[in-house]
Structure formats: structure tokens, C-alpha cells
Amino acid sequence: MKTIYLDNNATTQVALEVLEAMLPYFHDLYGNPSSMHSFGGQVGRKIREARESAAALIGAAPDEVIFTSCGTESDNAAIRSALLTQPEKRHIVTSRVEHPAIKALCAHLAEQGYRVTELPVDGEGRLDMEQYKRSLTPDTAIVSLMWANNETGVIFPIEAAAQLARARGILFHTDAVQAVGKIPIDMSKSAVSMLSISGHKLHAPKGVGVLYVRKGTRFSPFLIGGHQERSRRGGTENTPGIIGLGKACELAAQHMETENTKVKALRDRLENELLTRVPNSRVNGDRVNRLPNTSNISFEFVEGEGILLMMDEYGICASSGSACTSGSLQPSHVLRAMGVPFTMAHGSIRFSLSIYNTDEEVDFVIDKLPPIIETLRSMSPYWRTGERACGTA
């Protein structure tokens, strides 16, 4: 059975070009990039090339790129550095729809006495910029807002938010894990202080990421050890992963137009057909200002977990907006923050496409999913009694 993979916001397939670039550094070219000898030196040169590629993708200078193990480490390093370099400031501004890498860290810091402001979003997942302005105070050490939401794809006005923070002398971090490689980003024209990237979201391997730190930004290392990364992140470099990420960044720059044309068209066709064929369904989030690959659709009075299990029988991979699979009866914190009706939020499915998806795969999902929803609804007592939630489409 063929796998139809529509869960690319969770992780992506490693591109063949990336794999080929990495392979020599697992066995033949195994030297330590920090070594003085030429065997290790050639590895060091490849890391420098990867750094240049990662910087070019986001319009940064190579020395503003710090290689990390993942987006979560990058997020933690950015926020903790802002607090350590400004011990007199005790306030953090973020949003209610952040990734757990930010949300859980801020909850942990709140327990340690920091004050955290979580900005709300509206029913389309959009940030209230007036409330954001009012949240900034002289005590604010850092603002951390995601560039694009991992569940809905909704894009925040990061450039405007960063400008407002900088005008008040406040550091600004963005978790850009979902945005990098899908939409243009140019740090040379931005007020963003720090930015996080995760390799496995853009067809590089798992276990490698980037933290961009703008030149001149005071930075306290999260991992203290050797002199690696200009003493900003200790530990021997994950050479194959870094080289793979560099190649993936090159490919992402080449494929940006495809993301915003072919992938977007596939996403729109999948979404529109499902909304047409399945009654009482709705798209969650701003349908205009979002990533080109992401669609979060709710199907009323069915459980997302049931939809995923039945789709899996056909080899279709997606994600649920509900946390049921993690043992919770509560829907996604993102959908709850948006005020999505409970009976809709529980039946939400996130489809996230990539450049490797095809028309035939989308046709297959369009054919198989409506009967799945019909079957699940036939077993739902709420559906049979004709109850409906407010705000359905």
C-alpha cells in the first residue's frame, strides 16, 4: 500500500540531494571539523559552506547563524539568553497559540517568578496588534511570537511586531520553524533579534537546527563547553546533519516558487473539495494570510482520532488538531484559543503538503475521506439527533 504523506508540518522526507550530501560524512570524511589537520579541515570547510547556505535562505550574515540540535533548543536558547543578559527585566510577551517549545518554557519560567503575558487571537487565529502594543513595558525582556502557526498555518505580522519591540528597546524572537523555506524571509531588512529554524521541517534530517542571532545582540550560551559556534554553543558539531541542512536550505530557496504555486494549488483543491463534499465542515484560521501548504479542517461531531485511524487504513497520513491521542480529552490549545466550537475542535484534521505531493494523491484523499466522515457520523449519537454547533460552515 502506498503512503500518502500529508503531515509535513510534523516532519518532512529527507530530500535525496540532502541524503547524498550527508553520506560521506558518516564514514569516509569523519574528521573533527575543529581539528588542525587537513583531514578535519576539509570537514570544517563544508560546515562553513552550510552556514553560508543557511544564512542566504533568510538573508542573514553567516556569523549570525548558530547551529543547534533542533527548533526547541533554538527557542530555549533565545529566551533564556534574553533573560540572562537582562537580569533586571522580568517580563515575557508571547501568544496563546505558540508551539509547546515556547508555551511550556514560558509556563516553567512563570513558576520561577517571571511575568508572562500570553496574547489572545481572534476566531481566525489573528493577533490583536493594539493589545500587543499595550503589552510592551519597560520590564519586558523579550517578545517571542511564532512566524506561522504549526496547526493552522496562520501567519503573524512579525515584521511589524518586531519593529514595535525594537522601538522600545525590547528583544524580539520568532519561532520560524514552519515559515522558513515556505515564504520569503529577509533578516537584512528585519527588526527581528533572534529566529529559530528546525532542519526536519524543510527536508533536512532530524536533530539539527539553527538559531539566528542578529549581530550586536548580547547572547548568553545555552550549552557551555568548547569553542564551537564561536563559543555560542558548545559541543562537537553534528557534521552530517549540518551539511544536510545546508543543502536543504539551498533546495528550499530554489523551491520557494513551487511552494507558493503548485503546493498551494494542491492544498486549495483538497480543501475546497472536502468542504463541498462534507457537510458541516469548516476551515480553521485565516484562509488568506497563511502558509501555502497548510489546511486545518474541522468535521463536526466526529473525533479526529477516529478519522486518522480510518485514513491510516488507506495509507493516508495527517495530524489531528485534537490532543486525544496524547491522553487528553481537550482539543488543541490553538483551536481553543481561537474559540472553535467544541464539537468542531474535536474533529479537526491538519493537512500539510510538500513539493513531493501529487495531484493523484490529493484525488485519492478527496475520494476516501468523505465516506470515512459519513461512517463515523453514522455512529455518533449527536449527529443522529440532528444537533449542530454554532459557527459551522
| pLDDT of 386 | 56
- Please give the pLDDT value at position 325: 41
**pLDDT tens sequence across 36-64:** 999 999 999 999 999 999 999 999 999 99
**Distance, C-alpha 267 to centroid of its chain:** 17
Res 391: pLDDT: 38
The whole-number pLDDT of residue 74 equals 98
What are the pLDDT digits (tens) for 333-346?
999 999 999 889 99
pLDDT averaged over every residue in the chain:
94
- Residue in 106, 249, 324, 390 annotated catalytic: 324
> pLDDT at position 380, please?
78
Question: In this predicted model, what pLDDT tens digit does every residue of 263-277 receive, in sequence order?
Answer: 999 999 999 999 999
d(CA 199, CA 267): 23
- Per domain, the residue ranges of the chain are 4-10+256-383, 16-252
261 has a pLDDT exceeding 60: yes
CA distances from 376 to 12, 155, 302, 330, 384 (A): 29, 32, 6, 20, 11
Cell of 138: 519597560
Take residue 332 and report the three cell numbers written for it: 488543541
249 part of the active site: no
143-168 residue pLDDT tens: 999 999 999 999 999 999 999 999 99
Q: Which fold has domain 4-10+256-383?
A: Aspartate Aminotransferase, domain 1 (3.90.1150)
Domain 16-252, what fold?
Aspartate Aminotransferase; domain 2 (3.40.640)
Q: Is residue 297 within 8 Å of 274, Cβ to Cβ?
A: yes
pLDDT for the residue numbered 382? 67
Say yes or no to pLDDT of 206 above 50. Answer: yes
At residue 331, the pLDDT reads 80
pLDDT band at 326 (very low <50, low <70, confident <90, very high): very low
- The average pLDDT across 13-24 equals 98
